[in-house]
């Protein structure tokens, strides 16, 4: 019984350590995903979201569910970039649209 407890005591920290490592990238994923979500909400406020942002966020979530946090972080970052681009588009078009107007 004693041996098993000692063994268990040994295994636990290692498991703890590795999960910390994995958890680390999970935390990174959560942060990256939250950033993407925030940017996409701002795009929504400007009534100018892109379908590809939503697709990248879905891919990120799917990858995260399977535990592939590297892929999940990459997709979250991509989603954030797309959301930021859609925000830039909305703000720059506030004036730029007049260039094309038929006069």
Binding residues for other proteins, rule: CB under 8 A, are 47-52, 54-56, 59, 75, 78, 81-82, 85-86, 89-90, 93, 95-103
Shortest spacing between CB 5 and other proteins, in angstroms: 48
Shortest spacing between CB 9 and other proteins, in angstroms: 44
Residue carrying the six token digits 């990256």: 32
Shortest spacing between CB 87 and other proteins, in angstroms: 12
Q: Which is nearer to other proteins, 5 or 95 (CB)?
A: 95
Cα–Cα dist 103/101, whole Å: 6
Q: Which is nearer to other proteins, 16 or 41 (CB)?
A: 41
Angle between helices 2-45 and 51-65 (to 10 degrees): 170
The pair of three-digit structure tokens given for residue 84, joined into one six-digit string: 């930021």
The pair of three-digit structure tokens given for residue 9, joined into one six-digit string: 């005591």
């Amino acid at each position: 019984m004693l041996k098993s407890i000692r063994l268990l005591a040994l295994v636990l920290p290692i498991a703890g350590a590795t999960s910390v490592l994995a958890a680390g990238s999970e935390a990174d994923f959560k942060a990256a995903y939250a950033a993407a979500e925030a940017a996409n909400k701002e795009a929504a406020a400007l009534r100018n979201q892109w379908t590809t942002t939503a697709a990248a966020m879905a891919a990120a979530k799917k990858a995260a569910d399977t535990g592939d946090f590297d892929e999940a972080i990459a997709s979250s970052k991509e989603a954030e970039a797309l959301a930021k681009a859609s925000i830039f588009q909305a703000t720059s078009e506030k004036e730029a649209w007049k260039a094309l107007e038929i006069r």
